[in-house]
Structure 1
Amino acid sequence: MTIKSIWFDFGGVLSPTIDDLYKTYERKTGVNRGQMESAMAEVARPLGAHFLAPIELAMITQFQWAAGMREALGRLYPELDISHCDFDRHGEQWFADNDANPAMIALVHEYKRAGFKVGILTNNVVEWERPWRRMVELDGVVDDIVDSCKVLVRKPDPRIFELSAKRVGCAPEECVLIDDLPENCDAARASGWSAILFRNNEQVTRELRELVGMPLTA
């Protein structure tokens, strides 16, 4: 097996961890992760979808999602002050005051220079594209970006792995996914890919070098 294509998840790999993103958001708004995810689940319930699917698959617009979030939070947590939440511009507010993960950004550049095809495989949102791409500054570096809201399929659906491999002209066994969610790594492996579960920068760097046969740098 020869790895030719390396795919990096955005949220939790190229970005700070999801928990850190939520903590930053809570400091800005006073709304915590549990409250946010409960409200998102309420917005998704009529669609019978995962709590992130309505926006990550462009089933609804951010404006529609924002109205749903305000209603759900008001109903679930009537004493909660949401006056600092700008749900209509949530992507800008969510990513503000956050920096990309420098170690993973450096890996993207290193493996691109080494001749690998490098991509970003992300479950993301139409209206959030500008702030997240501005954060990582990898336009013109990566070979492809496969974004759930544009291809209308999201990890861990196996179709997204088939599509991603085809877009860079690689066989499944020539691809590896780096992702922070076990279910996405499991789905990638079931699709014939290799996968590395992100736990920390050092572990991913070591496992990726071992997988592709590149020596560790000093």
Structure 2
Amino acid sequence: MSDLQFVWFDFGGVLSPPIPALFEQYQVKTGLAPRVLQQAMSDVADDLGVPMLAPVESALLTEQDWGQRLELALRRRDPNIDLSRARLQSFGEQWFAGVPPNAPLIAAVRALKRAGFRVGILTNNVVEWEQHWRAMVGLDAVVDLIVDSSRERTRKPEAAFFQVAIERSGVAARHSLLIDDVAENIEAAAALGWQVLHFTDNHQALSQLQRLTGVSLLQPAVETA
């Protein structure tokens, strides 16, 4: 597609494993069931009147403060809960430990860059998690831009966050593509005039991206990486 100039990749669930898988891996590490942890996250966010991860993704709280509040929320619902394996005040380090990137999508970022497209990461993320997730994906020397919600104090699906990306890149919305696994984010970007690709799985996303860009992304090496 000749009018596509900049391809933006979401991190969580696109360049990383699916979010449910991350919660399951965290349960293996800590014993905390996903529904229990998500309820605590929601409780902390509800106290502030914001969406579940907005307290840290918009840097309303430090990771340490958020972890302390998570512990209180967990104990409020279950005073006997076992938190002996959970390091909630340094959550990101434990969350990302041993987590591999989504290799086929990482390869796609590199292939698009080689083909002459500008590429970036548009992520709802956390200040204290940056060193962990950027090391995990290993794209610092590849991407043109990283726009992180915790640095901007605004997050997907807020229009202001997408505007930051447009201003930083200098590329108009109609020439920009967002690849994201969250429907709400896709809908928000589309409403602002972006091209969008709703990620559901690797083969679907790579097939659509190959059609949009004309770049070969489904070679066996990419599919099986």
Contact 2:92–2:132 (Cα < 8 Å) also in 1: yes
Q: Quote the Cα distance in structure 2 between the aligned partners of 1:79 and 1:193.
A: 48
Q: Quote the Cα distance in structure 1 between the aligned partners of 2:43 and 2:217.
A: 46
Given the alignment of the two structures, is residue 29 of structure 1 paired with residue 30 of structure 2, yes or no?
yes
How many residue pairs are counted as aligned between the two chains? 218
Q: CA 1:4–1:73 in structure 2 vs 1: closer, same or farther (change >3 Å)?
A: same
Task: Look up the equivalent residue of 2:48 and give its one-letter code.
Answer: L
Given the alignment of the two structures, is residue 169 of structure 1 paired with residue 153 of structure 2, yes or no?
no
User: What is aligned with 1:3?
Assistant: 4
Question: Secondary structure of 2:29's partner?
Answer: helix
Alignment of 1:111-150 (within 5 A): 111-150=112-151
Task: Look up the equivalent residue of 1:82 and give its one-letter code.
Answer: L
Contact 1:119–1:144 (Cα < 8 Å) also in 2: yes
- Shift of residue 214, structure 1, vs aligned partner: 3.5
Contact 2:125–2:148 (Cα < 8 Å) also in 1: yes
Question: Secondary structure of 1:34's partner?
Answer: helix
User: What is aligned with 1:203?
Assistant: 204
Contact 2:173–2:194 (Cα < 8 Å) also in 1: yes
Deviating beyond 4 angstroms after TM superposition, the runs of 4 or more aligned structure 1 residues are 215-218
Contact 2:45–2:53 (Cα < 8 Å) also in 1: yes
Q: CA 1:217–1:180 in structure 2 vs 1: closer, same or farther (change >3 Å)?
A: closer
Q: Quote the Cα distance in structure 2 between the aligned partners of 1:212 and 1:99.
A: 26
Task: Look up the equivalent residue of 1:171 and give its one-letter code.
Answer: A
* Seq. identity, %: 46
Q: CA 1:215–1:71 in structure 2 vs 1: closer, same or farther (change >3 Å)?
A: closer
Q: CA 1:69–1:216 in structure 2 vs 1: closer, same or farther (change >3 Å)?
A: closer
- Shift of residue 217, structure 1, vs aligned partner: 5.2
Contact 1:2–1:212 (Cα < 8 Å) also in 2: no
Alignment of 1:1-218 (within 5 A): 2-214=3-215, 218=219
- The Cα RMSD (Å) is 1.2
- Shift of residue 216, structure 1, vs aligned partner: 5.9
Task: Look up the equivalent residue of 1:71 and give its one-letter code.
Answer: L
Output the TM-score relative to the length of structure 1: 0.96
Question: Secondary structure of 1:84's partner?
Answer: coil
Per-residue CA deviation, residues 91-122 of structure 1 (Å, 9 max, x unaligned), is: 01000011000000000000011111100000
